Chains A and B, each alone.
Chain A
């Protein structure tokens, strides 16, 4: 089924879960509803971009605690919080910790849908970033040790002459290494190489 994305719903009130499921299903989302933190954590998750609509006041584990735990476990799941009472300090805390939105019940359908869409977009972005990162890492791994050494000097802004002197090899050889690095890392310019190195955490000489 081709839907607009997967939404996980977590609220201790079954009737609330049911109502939101109806609303989101009517808007072509795939919805998985849960009434306890435990069943949610035990359930498997889809690879597709997905988000979590979470009631702050879960009896076993508060919404904020769950947010923290998911982050610790490295689970990237953008969260839209729902709360019974408009509590500003709590919403600030949630947003700081990466929540997409903090909505007060009763929630207007448009507000919820906007937040869910935003969350799914963020999920897609996160996904893209992850894929990009993975290919960058792969490219880095393809470099020879010498090429990596040269790359580190390049992104540190050294000239070929300086690098050649430092490594004790000919300037021409440096040039060859440099063009290979650019090719292997799939960048057109030194500027692009610097950006890729920053994302990979390379070049902290």
Chain B
């Protein structure tokens, strides 16, 4: 045992250890290709240093020559794998230098493929044992050298040029530490291992190859890289923990629940807050289906459809829905989510946040309810204004029914009774009765408090219903009505009763405005039209007109009527806005006013 037989196996072991570490990293990490290539250089270097040791201990020329063949191959393998490693690890370097260097290094290996390796020695004449310090000794071969080996060394120079160039590029890009540390040690290795090998091969320096010793520098550099990575990772982990802490504080403070839905496994990870919002206490992750189960069944289908659409279209999701907790508590949840895609652009995960909006929803519901109550009150007020006319509207069919019935009694008393006439009378009685009950139903609908229920409506039907309701009022006030409706009535999405309320209000206001006109000069014009996806209904009169600040009529408690509350138009305006529409007024050029109601058109249906 000499220092030689001690040192070389140490180097081999170091190479193997480093190689194994990088092999493991390369296999576990994505992308880990650079590590795999480095592992390859380390493993080949381990083999190389073993070969060096074997050559040192060679006993005869034949043995030496056989080892020479393999060490040549190993050196080529190291160089090529280093080139690839640098290319991948640095992400820089010139391709042509890499290819040229690899070619020059690999090309001469052909000479070693025959039965006798010819690359380094054409012929070995003898083995000489050289004694060195520490009682160690090593074998040196003597023989004729092959001039073609020069090509191989030219290759090393090109490889070195490639590495230096790649390192400079990396330096310029900013990763100076890696450029100096890894690029520098590889260059150092190439330079010293190359020069020393060249001197050995040229017979100038009668020593064994020392490449593996220089390779230690690379091992040290990569070891430092690795330890830096470990330290960096530890720092990141600490930062992450802190970030998580902050995030969790923030989400707790804001009541925000976070979730990550892995589309591949269909599992959902949810933060503690989210578990509270969805009312499940089980450990995460949970199956997506279990989350969906927690959504209120009235909302479930819609949420699933919207989420599915977000996944397919890779768009953001935003929605509001109710969840039911394990104890039956219903919560309103507002949720927003984003789809992330994998390397192939396929949807991979949905990241989302959810908050409890129950209080806001309840407040909104309360406001809505108050608005509805107010609207209801306003309808009652309007109908009480109309009560005289409505009584007349009911009285008329009753009068007709009575006269018909009494006529029938008289006809039945005759001999013979005119049964055909009586039959006609009964038919008329039935139809008048229906007319009366329609009046009552119309009135009852207006008097009923109700939620907003949007449905496709023909705006012209709504107007005609209202005109029926005010018919006798219009007659008694001698108002002449002109309707300008398109042949096909425009359809809107609306609440029948509320839209009737708006139009009734506008029509009654118009009539009031014309009260001071002479009887033959009271014209009410009602028109509808559809333009650019909006439906317009206008009510125009030739009455006393509006104040110069037209908007004042929409202010609450602004009224020109003796016993008016001044709430009719403001309520009508809120009804319009609930319908995503607008209500406004304009002064007519000559006299009177026109009120416009704008509503979104209902989507075309083919019914």
Residues of A at the B interface (CB closer than 8 Å) are 13, 15-16, 18-20, 22-23, 26-27, 57, 59, 84-85, 105-109, 112
- Residue B402 lies at the interface, judged by CB distance under 8 Å to chain A: yes
Give the Cβ gap from B308 to chain A, nearest Cβ, in Å. Answer: 59
> Contact at A19–B411, with CB atoms within 8 Å?
no
A20 surroundings in chain B (CB, below 8 A): 403
Q: Once the chains bind, are A13 and B400 in contact (CB under 8 Å)?
A: yes
Contacting A15 at CB < 8 Å: which of B391, B407, B428? B428
Do A105 and B428 touch across chains, with their CB atoms under 8 A apart? Answer: no
> Of A19, A105, A112, which is in contact with the most chain B CB atoms at under 10 Å from its CB?
A19
Known: A26-B414, A59-B475, A85-B392. A16 touches B406 (CB 8 A): no
Q: Can you show 25 pairs from A to B with CB atoms below 8 A apart?
A: A15-B428, A15-B432, A16-B399, A16-B400, A19-B400, A19-B403, A19-B407, A19-B428, A20-B403, A22-B403, A22-B404, A23-B403, A23-B406, A26-B407, A26-B414, A57-B475, A84-B399, A84-B472, A85-B395, A105-B398, A106-B399, A107-B402, A109-B406, A109-B409, A109-B410
User: Are A106 and B411 CB-contacts (below 8 A) given A18-B428, A22-B425?
Assistant: no
Q: How far is the CA of A178 from the CA of B408 in the complex (A)?
A: 63
User: How many contacting A-B pairs (Cβ < 8 A)?
Assistant: 69
Kindly identify which residue among A15, A26, A85, A106 contacts B388, using a CB–CB cutoff of 8 Å.
Answer: A85
| B50 close to A (CB within 8 Å) | no
Across the two chains, which residue of chain A brings its CB closest to B520?
A: A60
A22 close to B411 (CB less than 8 A)? yes
Instruction: State A62–B23 Cα separation when bound (angstroms).
Output: 108
Chain A residue numbers with a CB within 8 Å of B414 are 26
Among A27, A59, A105, A112, the one with the most B-chain Cβ atoms within 10 Å of its Cβ is A105
Q: Is the CB of A107 within 8 A of B403?
A: yes
User: B472 — which chain A residues lie within 8 A by C-beta?
Assistant: 84
Which residues of chain A have C-beta atoms less than 8 A from B478's C-beta?
A: 59
Partner of B403, one of A16, A59, A84: A16
Contact flags (1/0) for B544-558 with A, using CB distance below 8 Å? Answer: 000000000000000
Apart from A16-B399, A22-B407: 16 A-B pairs, beta carbons within 8 A: A13-B396, A13-B400, A16-B396, A19-B403, A23-B404, A27-B410, A57-B475, A84-B392, A84-B472, A85-B392, A106-B399, A106-B401, A106-B403, A107-B403, A108-B402, A112-B403
Contacts of B401 in A (CB 8 A): 106
CB < 8 Å neighbour of A106 from B395, B407, B421: B395
| Whole-angstrom CA separation of A23 from B388 in the bound complex | 28
- B344 sits at the interface (CB 8 A): no
| Alpha-carbon separation in the docked complex, A94 to B428 (Å) | 31
A15 to B425 Cα, complex, angstroms: 10
Cα-based distance from A22 to B425 in the complex (angstroms) = 9
CA distance A50 to B357 in the complex (A): 79
Complex: A109 Cα to B391 Cα, angstroms: 21
The 10 closest A-B pairs by CB, nearest first: A105-B399, A106-B399, A22-B407, A19-B403, A109-B406, A23-B407, A106-B402, A26-B410, A19-B404, A84-B392
**A85 vs B476: C-alpha distance when bound (angstroms):** 11
What is the interface of chain B, defined by CB distance below 8 A to chain A?
Answer: 388, 391-392, 395-396, 398-404, 406-411, 414, 421, 425, 428, 431-432, 472, 475-476, 478
Give the one of A13, A15, A108 with max B CB within 10 A: A15
Chain B residues within 8 Å of A19, by CB: 400, 403-404, 407, 425, 428
How many angstroms from the CA of A85 to the CA of B478 in the assembled complex? 16
Residues in B whose Cβ lies below 8 Å from that of A16: 396, 399-400, 403
In the bound complex, residues from chain A placing their C-beta under 8 Å from that of B409 are 109
Nearest neighbor of B435 in chain A, beta-carbon distance: A15
B residues less than 8 Å from A112 (CB atoms) = 403
- The smallest beta-carbon distance between A69 and chain B, in angstroms, is 15
Contact of A105 among B396, B421, B425, B432 (CB under 8 A): B396
Residues of A within 8 A of B395 (CB): 84-85, 105-106
Q: How far is the CB of B421 from chain A (nearest CB, A)?
A: 7
Cβ distance B518 to chain A, nearest Cβ, rounded Å: 14
Contacts of B408 in A (CB 8 A): 22
Distance (Å) between the CB of B430 and the closest chain A CB? 12
Pairwise interchain contact B400-A15, C-beta atoms closer than 8 A: yes
Residue among B391, B410, B421, B475 with most chain A CB within 10 A: B410
Q: A84 and B396 in contact (CB under 8 A), knowing A22-B404, A106-B402?
A: yes
A164 and B421 alpha carbons, distance in the complex (Å): 74
**B9 vs chain A, min Cβ distance (A):** 122
Neighbouring A residues of B388 by C-beta, 8 Å: 85
Per the bound structure, the CA–CA distance linking A20 and B409 in Å amounts to 13
C-alpha spacing A106/B391, complex, angstroms:
12
Output the nearest chain B residue to A26 by Cβ-Cβ distance: B410
**With a CB–CB cut-off of 8 A, which chain A residues contact B428?**
15, 18-19
A109 to B402, CA, bound (A): 9
| Chain A residue at smallest Cβ distance from B480 | A59
In angstroms, how far is the closest chain B Cβ from the Cβ of A53? 11
Task: Specify the chain A residue showing the minimal Cβ separation from B392.
Answer: A84
Closest to B472 in A: A84
List A contacts of B400 (CB < 8 A): 13, 15-16, 19
